[in-house]
Amino acid sequence: MELEHKYCLECGIEFNFLAKWQSKRKFCSNRCRNRNSARNFYKNNKVSCNLKRKKWNDDHKAYASLYKRAYVVKFRNEILTLLGNTCVNCGFSDKQALQIDHIHGRGCKQRAIFGTSCTYYKKILDEIKMGSKEYQILCANCNWIKKVENEEKKRIKYQNEENM
């Protein structure tokens, strides 16, 4: 009896079989078969899977919120430690008022790309660990003064200012 060849439906790898009872095989291994069946289960039951996921998220909202917040605080504290824990301009050192500033601007755009604060802080931390010099620590006052001076934040004109 000679070897016959087939291609796995999951990974595309060519596999051989010898026995006639193996001719119905579609996957090279149990691992590929299980991955394919899990994917097909989700495709066939997408609505119920999404409802279960949403229900779980609603039931565990407080836990998930605390978990994410803990990571944000951890990443932020590590960033502040790496950058010196003091404002570059005035030397203020209370962590509650310190902010991570993009030296060349573009912070709002970057936050919009990453969405959640956890992934945003993680990316900043990774960049700083790689040696990036794009970030500095400023206190809230110095940061807003820098934004106004560099026109990073457009000033809102109120109606009474236009009349003056």
Give residue-wise pLDDT tens across range 108-159.
777 777 777 778 888 888 888 998 888 999 999 998 888 888 877 655 554 5
Are 76 and 113 in a shared domain? Answer: yes
Helix 30-44 vs helix 46-59: angle between axes, to the nearest 10 degrees? 80
Number of domains within the chain: 2
Are 74 and 143 in a shared domain? Answer: yes
How far from each other are the two terminal CA atoms of the chain, in whole angstroms?
97
**Mean of the per-residue pLDDT values for the chain?**
80
All residues at 6 or more sequence positions from 148 whose CB lies less than 8 Å from its CB, including other chains: 155
Please give the residue that has the higher pLDDT: either 148 or 80.
80
Are 87 and 139 in a shared domain? Answer: yes
Fill in the amino acid letter for 81: T
Are 30 and 95 in a shared domain? Answer: no
Whole domain around residue 112: which residue ranges?
70-149
All residues at 6 or more sequence positions from 11 whose CB lies less than 8 Å from its CB, including other chains: 28, 32
Are 74 and 20 in a shared domain? Answer: no
Separation of alpha carbons 15 and 153, rounded Å: 61
| Range ranked top by mean pLDDT from 20-29, 53-62, 129-138, 153-162 | 129-138
Q: What pLDDT does residue 154 have?
A: 58
> Can you give the pTM of this predicted structure?
0.56
Which CA distances in Å does 26 have to 11, 18, 37, 42?
11, 14, 12, 20
Helix (H) or strand (E) holding 4: strand 4-7
Q: What pLDDT does residue 98 have?
A: 93
All residues at 6 or more sequence positions from 135 whose CB lies less than 8 Å from its CB, including other chains: 79, 83, 100, 101, 102, 103, 124, 127, 128
